[in-house]
């Protein structure tokens, strides 16, 4: 192990030790209520990215109904609320005709904390860029291939490059004029190094905005659904060793799919994981009942045993299990406990987690 890595590991281990001797960790709250809610407005997409399992999705395309949206929201409020993400497992939220109307409804709900969305940006201007910025998002991640037409076509496999590029320009320009700018992140999925992406002439107009960038260096094979990646893109290495403890996703929150099925884990590796990760239906049980239900308990207990479902076994995105002692977990636990007691807790500042919410 290189010296730098060894020193970093030693520091981390001292820090972990320090947090473990302090009182105040509250592991029970993680199983008492979901911290976050993910709503999949639709599982239909207007792109077909080479790295995404979208084209192998075996679910019929569906649009969330008013009834499913309203029930999901009222159930989440009933357990105290928290942050909401409208990024679909696969698909693009902005395709849903009510996407912005529903975000405005979420924003008008006191128990809903920060609202996030990851989108491919194709439909950002459908109702006007200001309508998106005014809707009530705390953070918008725009995933795109970068700023070169040929690369966009190779990776996103559609002809909307110029529209997406111009939408991104317009979004940053309008956001810069706002008194309350929305947190924007450019999530770049390219088949060439980041430095080359940033040197592309079409990136130049964005430089003045100094955009926050999240660059994907590796890609999930999505439980084996993605067999090959084009040159320049590489898979995440497989998780080494058995998954002994429940993946963090199993304790983070619930995803209401477009057809009302409720599953744990909103990552694209869960695209076809009906048997494995669907733990209820929103019109048949409440989110609270589903969170406390037998199916979710059994799923948690199956980690570290031979009965772990094949989806999670094959998944290379396995999140480290919850370290109940970490400062982050303490913070989540304490906020969650306050929400459970009926307090409205609104967080401030930038969101720091890419897929989970804080
Ligand atoms: C599944 S997409 C859904 C939202 C929207 N369609 C988009 O692309 O932003 C959510 C995020 O997952 C990322 N993603 C999709 N497949 C992936 C993979 N195999 N590995 C890593 N990230 C992936 C996308 O780039 C995107 O940032
Ligand atoms: S990554 Fe997003 S935009 Fe690309 S195909 Fe998957 S769901 Fe659609
Ligand atoms: S192991 Fe993978 S599929 Fe299973 S819950 Fe974790 S991230 Fe999702």
In this predicted model, what pLDDT tens digit does every residue of 321-355 receive, in sequence order? 777 778 888 889 999 999 999 999 999 888 887 66
Q: Closest Cα to residue 145, out of 204, 89, 191? A: 191
Residue 85: alpha-carbon gap to chain centroid: 7
What is the full per-residue pLDDT of the chain (358 aa) written as tens digits? 456 656 666 665 665 565 555 555 788 999 999 999 999 999 999 999 999 999 999 999 999 999 999 999 999 999 999 999 999 999 999 999 999 999 999 999 999 999 999 999 999 999 999 999 999 999 999 999 999 999 999 999 999 999 999 999 999 999 999 999 999 999 999 999 999 999 999 999 999 999 999 999 999 998 889 999 999 999 998 888 788 888 888 999 999 999 999 999 988 888 998 889 999 999 999 999 999 999 999 999 999 999 999 889 888 887 777 777 788 888 899 999 999 999 999 998 888 876 666 7
Compute the distance between CA of residue 233 and CA of residue 87 in angstroms, rounded to an integer.
23
Compute the distance between CA of residue 272 and CA of residue 60 in angstroms, rounded to an integer.
11
Q: Which residues line ligand 1 (CB under 6 A)?
A: 45, 51-52, 87-88, 90, 92, 118-120, 143, 187, 189, 216, 219-220, 222, 226, 268
Compute the distance between CA of residue 151 and CA of residue 217 in angstroms, rounded to an integer.
16
Q: For the chain, give the number of residues.
A: 358
Q: How far is the CA of 47 from the centre of ligand 2 (A)?
A: 6
Q: How far is the CA of 318 from the centre of ligand 3 (A)?
A: 5
- The pLDDT of residue 14 is 64
Q: Which atom of ligand 3 is nearest to the CA of 270?
A: 3
Residue of the CA atom closest to atom 11 of ligand 1: 118
Q: Which residues line ligand 2 (CB under 6 A)?
A: 45, 47-49, 52, 54, 90-92, 120
**14-34 per-position pLDDT tens digit:** 655 655 555 557 889 999 999
- The pLDDT of residue 268 is 87
- The pLDDT of residue 1 is 46
Contact predicate 265/247, CB 8 Å = yes
Ligand nearest the Cα of residue 156 is 2
Q: Residue 45 to residues 25, 119, 226: CA-CA distances in angstroms?
A: 41, 10, 17
Q: How far is the CA of 11 from the centre of ligand 1 (A)?
A: 33
| Entry pTM | 0.93
- The pLDDT of residue 275 is 84
Helices 149-156 and 161-176 sit at what angle, rounded to 10 degrees?
Answer: 110
Supply 82's token pair. 């928290």
Rounded to 5°, angle at Cα 130 from 155 and 358: 70
**189-210 per-position pLDDT tens digit:** 999 999 999 999 999 999 999 9
């Amino acid at each position: 192990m290189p010296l730098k890595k060894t020193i970093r590991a030693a520091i981390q281990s001292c820090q972990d030790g320090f947090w473990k001797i302090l009182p105040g960790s509250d592991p029970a709250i993680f199983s008492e209520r979901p911290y976050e809610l993910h709503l999949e407005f639709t599982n239909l997409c207007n792109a077909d990215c080479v790295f995404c399992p979208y084209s192998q999705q075996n679910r019929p395309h569906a649009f969330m109904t008013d009834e499913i949206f309203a029930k999901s929201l009222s159930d989440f409020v009933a357990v105290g609320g928290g942050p909401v993400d409208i990024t679909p497992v696969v698909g693009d939220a902005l395709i849903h005709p009510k996407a912005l109307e529903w975000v405005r409804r979420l924003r008008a709900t006191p128990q809903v904390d920060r609202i996030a969305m990851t989108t491919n940006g194709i439909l950002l201007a459908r109702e006007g860029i200001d309508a998106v910025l005014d809707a009530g998002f705390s953070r918008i991640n725009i995933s795109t291939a970068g700023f070169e037409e040929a690369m966009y076509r190779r990776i996103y496999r559609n002809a909307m490059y110029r529209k997406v590029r111009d939408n991104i320009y317009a979004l940053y320009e309008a956001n810069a004029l706002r008194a309350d700018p929305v947190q924007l992140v450019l999530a770049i999925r390219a088949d060439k190094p980041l430095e080359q992406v940033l040197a592309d002439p079409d990136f130049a107009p964005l430089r003045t905005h100094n955009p926050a960038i999240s660059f994907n260096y590796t890609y999930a094979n999505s439980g084996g659904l993605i067999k090959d990646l084009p040159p320049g893109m590489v898979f995440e290495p497989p998780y080494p060793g058995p998954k002994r403890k429940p993946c963090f996703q199993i304790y983070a929150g619930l995803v209401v799919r477009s057809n009302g099925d409720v599953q744990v884990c909103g990552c694209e590796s869960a695209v076809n994981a009906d048997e494995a990760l669907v733990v209820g239906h929103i019109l048949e049980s409440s989110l609270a009942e589903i969170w406390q239900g037998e199916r979710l308990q059994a799923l948690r207990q199956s980690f570290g045993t031979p009965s772990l479902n094949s989806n999670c076994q094959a998944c290379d995105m396995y999140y480290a299990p919850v370290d109940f002692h970490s400062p982050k977990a303490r913070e989540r636990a304490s906020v969650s406990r306050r929400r459970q007691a009926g307090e409205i807790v609104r967080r401030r500042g930038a969101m720091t987690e890419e897929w989970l919410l804080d």
